[in-house]
Structure 1
Amino acid sequence: MTKILSTLVLLLLFISVRSQTKDKSFTVKHTTDKIITDGILDEPIWEIAESAGEFQQYFPSDDVPAKYQTDIRMVTDETTLYVGIKVYTPGEDYVIPSLERDFRAGGNDNISIIFDTFNDGTNAFLFGINPYGVRREVLISGGGQSLRGFTTSWDVKWRGESKIYEGYYTAEMAIPLTSFKFAEGETKWRFQSYRFDMQSNERSNWYIIPQNQSVINLAFMGDMYFEKPLGRSRTPLALIPYVNAITDKDFSTDSGDTSFKVGGDAKIAIGNGMNLDVTVNPDFSNVEVDDIFTNLTRFEVSLPERRQFFVDNNDLFGSFGGSRDANPFFSRRIGIATDSSGNSVQNDILGGIRLSGKLNNNLRLGFLNIQTAKDENQEIPSNNNMMFALQQKVFARSNIGMFFINRQAFGNEDFINEEDSYNRVIGVDYNLASENNVWFGKFYTHKSFQPGDKKGNYSAGAFLGRNTRFWNVFTDLAYVGDDFKSDLGFIRRNDIIKSATSVRRLFWPEKGSINNHGLEIFPILTWRPGLDYKKTDHEVQVNYNFAMKNFSEFGFSYSNNYIFLSDSFDPTSTDGAVELPGDRGYTFDSVSFNYQSNQANVFAIQTESSIGSFFNGSRFSMGAEATLRLQPKLRLSLNVNYDKINLPDPFPSADLWLVSPRVGVTFSKSVFWSTLFQYSNQRDNLGINSRLQWRFAPLSDLFIVYNDNYAVNLFEPKFRSINLKFTYWLNI
């Protein structure tokens, strides 16, 4: 009996300690002192500012205090939030791959701080800095459930600097309050911080997070109280004009052009919670190119949005529906059109507006309206692209959203087909996120409208998951009707009912070099209602993965596939080849192995290889990326993907290569040069993109960009251009 009582007492004490840890907070004092943002914490205010408290280890364990602690203190005046940070380390051998802004946190030493300014657990602002004073800023949306809501292309003005000492480094941040959105008179924000210490292989957080949860998940945050309530934010106006001179030559038509464009954006804060973006004659030329890929499927692949105009509050527009199969709004569709030959071509944008943000603590609004230009030579009409969205918070961290999308062609040209004159979509989504993020999910119903409406223009889905320390399970159901259409969306295919279920069991060894390992069973099945609900696809994966305490990972997988081809198809995309016959099913399977070394190593590698059958033949695939870091000035990487496909005669076999070397040089924290080569024999293209960037003022840049493309079979030039682009961020 005594042992039982002792155990109960210890259990209650443990629960008490855990609950006290979760009620974590500190006070941000108000000051009138002048603070110089030089990374040196020598101002007297830092001595009396309240410490946020100790950090908790996240990796390799999540139930002990961090071995190397971090001290964060904050003060504010009428215009700026100041952050002072002292980061203790085992030495000065820091891993800093580059001096370029907006670095990735993994694989290098850094610290990030997160502010949930509306206390809703849905959206937040992240600011990060490393021991060399390199900065980054990120928008977090969707509760931080996944990296899809982690937007690194967001930019905002703020100052930060670091200073290295023996056994620790310090950092100072000065973040204008106008960089945030918050309610007038606010006295509390939710707060979190996480850091990477690559010398001790330790990751730690200010507010405790279980290892089965992501470090950016907004369910796990404490509170920061302001000694003086925050006032009404002044309404800043930011003007961002640009000048772009470009000369190019198309060798296929033996034609060239030199053009000079002028335009710009304006950012207008409306109150403390809303933002109005205006763009006139925007320039979305590629100063940064997309990575190419080998596509062996029948479907289009989505690529991330990089254009700054679409970034702020992007989740208000782009998070509806299912991101993989039925996303009704995909901003990269705007500025792309289909010409008379059915090819996707760039379509100029005349201008647009974008209003987004918080109407109050629980209600968000988004409105976007963009006009694209007419191109008579390519038979492309002028189109108005509009979206209106509302999102209401319910319960602790969940929300209900609704939207209306309209794409409307203008003019009465003969090439405007009646069925393409407009497309409209309406929908309602419910996003579930429990307070502790154990439960998460999404439920939605959408309907499209277009000329000659028919039955079946609906899209619907249900997603529900549960994430605990030992079990991570979810099931995802999606329906896309045969006539559902969203011209501004990403719809991989119509006429499907799809089911995906994942069951993952994690194990956490108490001793040894393995941090965790786990088994996952992941079946995906697709049926076609238009084919009498015939099962047309399935993929059953069985995965076993290991995460090591030295930050390396490896795993094994088995996959069984079935594909019913309604139409003939050539997975190699070989010109003039005999395609695999349609109206037939194919079953094939494969085994694979993957490995990733510690990305903080001077030489790091990640690789994956697989072998097995493929349709009615066989396939061997190998992919690897190697990175050499000569910090902090030079970073060399090589990405190689090889697919060997053997199909029986008369069908084509192929050796598909994708080789992408990249060179990145950071001369300083304001001058960067990068060159990317991309060779793909599937696309018959060798592309070269070389970019020199000078950030001569905060968020103001001068770019010189050289692009070149060659046909690889004959090694003939295809297209070449050189860009000189100047942008300047002016606050009024």
Structure 2
Amino acid sequence: MYKYLPLQLLCCLFIAISGTAQKNTEQYQLHIQKTSERIIIDGQANEQTWAGAEAARDFFMVLPMDTSFANVKTEVKITYDDHNLYVLAICYNGAPGPYVVESLRRDFAFQKNDNFLFFFDPFEDRTNGFSFGANAAGAQWDGIIYEGGKMDLSWDNKWVSSVKNYEDRWVFEAAVPFKTIRFKKGMNKWGINFSRNDLKTTEKSSWAPVPRQFPTVSLAYTGTLVWDQPPPVTGANISVIPYVLGGLSHDYQNKTPTDYKKEIGADVKIGVTSALNLDLTVNPDFSQVEVDKQVTNLDRFELFFPERRQFFLENADMFGNFGYTNIRPFFSRRIGLNVPIQFGARLSGKLNKDWRIGIMDMQTKSVGEMDLPAQNFAVVSLQRKVFSRSNIGLLFMNKQSINYKPDNDPVTPEASNYNRNIGIEYNLASPGNFWTGKALVLKSFSPNASGRTITHAANLNYTDRKWALGWQHEYVGKDYLAEVGYVPRTGYIRVNPQVGYQFFPKTGKILSHGPIAQSVYYMDEKLKKTDYETYLSYKFNFRNQATLTALVARNYVKLLRPFDPTNSGMDSLQTGTEHRWNNVSIEYISRPRSLFTYSALVRYGGYFADGTRLQVTNELGYRFQPYVGITMSTSYNDLRLPTPWGKRTYWLIGPRVDVTFTNKLYFTAFGQYNEQTKNVNLNTRLQWRYKPASDFFIVYTDNYFPEYMSVKNRALVVKFTYWFTM
């Protein structure tokens, strides 16, 4: 019972916090009127409709301080017709000089660009929505908002925009089709907010005020868009996205013949209702997805890399965000990375204002040479809104092998008969977002499973302008198994308290500064200590948006299984050995408005087996805005260990060049030299977005042995996609 008592107490506290009164935003209203005039998206705003539209003005400053109106003036107007929602933003100059932009690439880094963004909450649930916008050079930004203020910029859909620069202002104009977004039929009020980032004055602002400790995307602080009549339902909403692919690859290492690739496939998106979408895919291909950024792995557990494939992204929070960072019962990257996907379907979206649903089914092929059977992956997720912004979620996940034939060889997770997970969680978000948290219980089912297959966890956080307080605990049973999830370790109890405070000087170069104390403490299921990390850091936030962080930490590890501290295949430290060390680090990130930017982290201290570790990482960047960006990332690890390991050094070097000829034509070339894995990877990608959400890709990849730069393997892929809307 001791394992469940903290969960029970936190659940009671969650309910008490969730029931607090909803904040009043009725004073921030923008009325929208339908237009019969044709709106041309050119950034000139010379239609008569714009002259008569109601304007959102008097933005509030969010950064550097949130106690006054913004100094940089912004004006926004909105209208619509039977097909599109139109947005016009006039962004006046805050200071003389050129605008600050990173490039013309889509989904730019918010902190490195002068930009304007707008956020829709079409259900007024203050939890889910959409974001669109552009930087001052016209590069587009679009994404899905989930969990009240988090952005998924991997989402991509059809819309158009234009940015035009004038002497005293830049103007953003956009048309977002109603078929692109999901909304509840018949609602005449939406949540809405606008955000402006002006790096020349280091000022971030929003129309409806947002406290500085929260991002401007926070849906807890939206105003209200009041429609003159409910937005139009556009009828049939069906999109077909076929692709044609050709390519070749050659494995020089294993001296196999050249493999020629010719494939066709398609995705289909069907708007079942204005708020519910059905996605279908047949023979999907993800070769155009950018490769993962490599890291030097000196950890005892599996690393996490995010999902990037387009099919899995819409409403992905219903599936992939169930659980915690290291307790994910479902992780879509487990599907189709090593075996081809035959087909899949996903139904996701809103049933009404209070209910969301997600149903996914994916089928993979069998791979004879790998002894992998065909497998089916089925996921059902259901979410019910409670109180003002909280919700209760239910998840069921089933992985089933087709025509399963066990043999005498050990069964791997990839080839097991079945694995099932069921779980329920409560997500807390108070009306003003000061209190957030989660409580969950999971159970797994597998062949011959017995013992401790239960997992539960909970956390509670409080954040205001000065204080950041948090508590999290986890219990993962030794026999809990999530084969289609991400759970790097089992059989532990974890507690994680943290506290932070910020001071705000009235003058000077420092905007805020303060300490953060945190401890991550692990025990086994008998409450015996296995490892911990306790650290104290101090962070300085400068008015020019540079940051400086210093940290001291104390570590302890009792190994529960053999571990090679170099992760290079050498001898391992034995189970049960204990290791203690201290380390210090300092990190500096330069101001983002400079053409030359840099960041550096230096960490030094002890390591396993009474060794030492020096880690130096940095990133240097220079931009010839807005067309060319050059970055060089390096990571150096110096390990000093006793025999048999001795001195080990690992370099990880990653140069990258981004060329954005226009906001529709991009070229990227980057390399990765990883001394730990003894590999050099070169990757180039040309992308031409010839129509909204329709692309032509050329991707070329090389892998080399670093000693003599002899080729391991080489591949070239050409891919064409087109988005038909009916």
Q: Classify the TM-score, shorter chain.
A: over 0.9
Does the Cα contact within 8 Å between 1:21 and 1:208 map onto a contact in 2? no
- SS of residue paired to 1:178: coil
Does the Cα contact within 8 Å between 2:404 and 2:417 map onto a contact in 1? no
Does the Cα contact within 8 Å between 2:682 and 2:701 map onto a contact in 1? yes
Corresponding residue of 1:638 = 632
Q: CA deviation at 1:53?
A: 2.6
Q: Give the one of 44, 47, 50 matched to 2:51.
A: 47
Q: How far, CA to CA, are the matches of 2:514 and 2:690 in structure 1?
A: 48
Corresponding residue of 1:455 = 451
Q: How far, CA to CA, are the matches of 2:481 and 2:289 in structure 1?
A: 32
Corresponding residue of 1:60 = 64
Q: How far, CA to CA, are the matches of 2:134 and 2:516 in structure 1?
A: 36
Q: CA deviation at 1:313?
A: 0.3
Alignment of 1:36 with 2:24, yes or no, is no
Corresponding residue of 1:279 = 281
Q: CA deviation at 1:286?
A: 4.8
Residue 160 of structure 2 aligns to which amino acid in structure 1?
R
Does the Cα contact within 8 Å between 2:612 and 2:639 map onto a contact in 1? yes
What's the TM-score once normalised by structure 1's chain length? 0.93
Residue 50 of structure 2 aligns to which amino acid in structure 1?
W
Q: How far, CA to CA, are the matches of 2:41 and 2:671 in structure 1?
A: 39
Q: How far, CA to CA, are the matches of 2:576 and 2:418 in structure 1?
A: 33
Alignment of 1:469-488 (within 5 A): 469-488=465-484
Q: CA deviation at 1:571?
A: 2.0
Corresponding residue of 1:392 = 384
- SS of residue paired to 2:333: helix
Corresponding residue of 1:596 = 589
Q: Give the one of 422, 427, 436 matched to 2:423.
A: 427
Residue 470 of structure 1 aligns to which amino acid in structure 2?
K
Q: CA deviation at 1:22?
A: 7.0
Q: CA deviation at 1:21?
A: 7.6
Question: Which stretches of structure 1, 4 residues or more, deviate above 3 A after TM superposition?
Answer: 19-22, 412-419
Q: CA deviation at 1:20?
A: 8.6
Residue 79 of structure 1 aligns to which amino acid in structure 2?
H
Does the Cα contact within 8 Å between 1:373 and 1:381 map onto a contact in 2? yes
Q: How far, CA to CA, are the matches of 2:627 and 2:232 in structure 1?
A: 43
Q: CA deviation at 1:34?
A: 1.2
- SS of residue paired to 1:491: coil
Residue 371 of structure 1 aligns to which amino acid in structure 2?
Q
Q: CA deviation at 1:714?
A: 4.5
Alignment of 1:648-659 (within 5 A): 648-659=642-653
Q: Show CA shifts across 1:145-177 (max 9, x none).
A: xxxx31111111111111111111112111111
Residue 184 of structure 1 aligns to which amino acid in structure 2?
K
Q: Give the one of 343, 353, 356 matched to 2:348.
A: 356
Does the Cα contact within 8 Å between 2:556 and 2:580 map onto a contact in 1? yes
Identical-pair percentage? 36
Does the Cα contact within 8 Å between 2:26 and 2:224 map onto a contact in 1? no
Q: CA deviation at 1:446?
A: 0.5
Residue 69 of structure 2 aligns to which amino acid in structure 1?
P
Q: CA deviation at 1:692?
A: 1.1
Does the Cα contact within 8 Å between 2:25 and 2:221 map onto a contact in 1? no
Alignment of 1:407 with 2:396, yes or no, is no
Q: How far, CA to CA, are the matches of 2:643 and 2:401 in structure 1?
A: 47
Q: CA deviation at 1:418?
A: 7.5
Q: Give the one of 516, 522, 529 matched to 1:526.
A: 522
Alignment of 1:122 with 2:127, yes or no, is yes
Q: Show CA shifts across 1:642-697 (max 9, x none).
A: 01000012234311100000011111222111101000110110000011111111
Q: How far, CA to CA, are the matches of 1:20 and 1:139 in structure 2?
A: 25
Corresponding residue of 1:574 = 568
Corresponding residue of 2:12 = none
Q: How far, CA to CA, are the matches of 1:282 and 1:638 in structure 2?
A: 33
Corresponding residue of 1:106 = 111
Corresponding residue of 1:10 = none
Alignment of 1:236 with 2:237, yes or no, is yes
Alignment of 1:222-621 (within 5 A): 222-255=223-256, 256-323=258-325, 325-336=326-337, 346-415=338-407, 420-529=416-525, 532-575=526-569, 577-615=570-608, 616-621=610-615
Alignment of 1:674 with 2:631, yes or no, is no
Does the Cα contact within 8 Å between 2:137 and 2:626 map onto a contact in 1? no
Does the Cα contact within 8 Å between 1:514 and 1:546 map onto a contact in 2? yes
Closer, same or farther in 2 for the Cα pair 1:21/1:425, shift >3 Å? closer
Q: CA deviation at 1:383?
A: 0.4
Does the Cα contact within 8 Å between 1:137 and 1:152 map onto a contact in 2? yes
- SS of residue paired to 2:219: coil
Q: Show CA shifts across 1:526-555 (max 9, x none).
A: 0111xx332111000101000000111101
Superposition RMSD in Å: 1.4
Structure 2 residues not aligned, in runs of 5+: 1-22
Residue 598 of structure 2 aligns to which amino acid in structure 1?
I
Does the Cα contact within 8 Å between 2:25 and 2:224 map onto a contact in 1? no
Alignment of 1:693 with 2:687, yes or no, is yes
Residue 125 of structure 2 aligns to which amino acid in structure 1?
D
Q: How far, CA to CA, are the matches of 2:599 and 2:207 in structure 1?
A: 30
- SS of residue paired to 1:45: helix
Does the Cα contact within 8 Å between 1:418 and 1:451 map onto a contact in 2? no
Q: How far, CA to CA, are the matches of 2:133 and 2:252 in structure 1?
A: 45
What's the TM-score once normalised by structure 2's chain length? 0.94
Corresponding residue of 2:145 = 140
- SS of residue paired to 1:490: coil
